[in-house]
Amino acid sequence: MDQLTIGAALDRDSLGQLLQTQPSLVEGYLSLEQQLQPNGFDLTLNKVSRLSTPGSMGAAPDDRELSNTEPLDFEPGDWLGLTPGPYLVDFNEIVNLPLNVMALGRPRSSLLRSGVAIHTAVWDAGYHGRSQALLVVHQSAGYRVQRDARLLQLVFYRLAQPVSQGYQGRFQGENI
């Protein structure tokens, strides 16, 4: 393998090849033409929920508790008005990472230019699921989003070698 490709972000052509494998790198996408980017793949909005209870993070895996959520209803035309604050968003797409690929999520620049941020964790090699992210509206006037809008770009990286064991955490197979 060419040393330049190890640890480098995957380009559109490399992603296109991985989209043709079984399982596909990304399933359930809405528009390959719009979502496949020069250096990543855009994930689209499926659901927005309000965080309704506090969570907790203890030292042991059994000592963490996720916040409860309340799904928000989209208005006519599938729009949703959001007031300032944090929201949990679910994406339409299912991500299937092989053992030699990991991913990082970055917000679309249009969000940032409007005072809205998306926070994510690492997509570990071997992860399979329909992911979630934290969307935070910082804009004091709020923000509007439409179902199926492209919110996040996943940037994929080829590892120097496949991991011996892929992701095994509690979110494996989430939201499928």
- Secondary structure of residue 110 in the 3-state scheme: helix
pTM of the model: 0.92
144 pLDDT above the threshold of 60? yes
Helix (H), strand (E) at residue 144: strand 143-146
Distance CA 82, CA 70 (A): 14
pLDDT at residue 20, as a whole number: 96
Q: What sign has the CA pseudo-torsion 157, 163, 168, 174?
A: positive
Confidence of residue 122 (pLDDT cuts 50, 70, 90): very high
Distance CA 26, CA 23 (A): 8
- Give, in words, the CATH class of 12-52+66-158: mainly beta
Domain boundaries along the sequence of the chain: 12-52+66-158
Distance CA 66, CA 82 (A): 22
Cα-atom radius of gyration of the chain, to the nearest Å?
17
Q: Average the pLDDT over each of 2-11, 28-37, 63-72 and give the range with the smallest value.
A: 2-11
Cis status, amide bond into 86, omega within 30 of 0: no
pLDDT at residue 45, as a whole number: 98
Q: Average the pLDDT over each of 1-15, 91-105, 109-123 and give the range with the smallest value.
A: 1-15
Over range 81-91, report the average pLDDT: 98
6 pLDDT above the threshold of 90? no
Over range 130-144, report the average pLDDT: 97
Ramachandran angles phi, psi of 58, nearest 5°: -95, 180
5 pLDDT above the threshold of 60? no
Dump pLDDT digits (tens) for 151-166. 999 999 999 999 999 9
Query: What average pLDDT is seen over the chain?
Result: 94
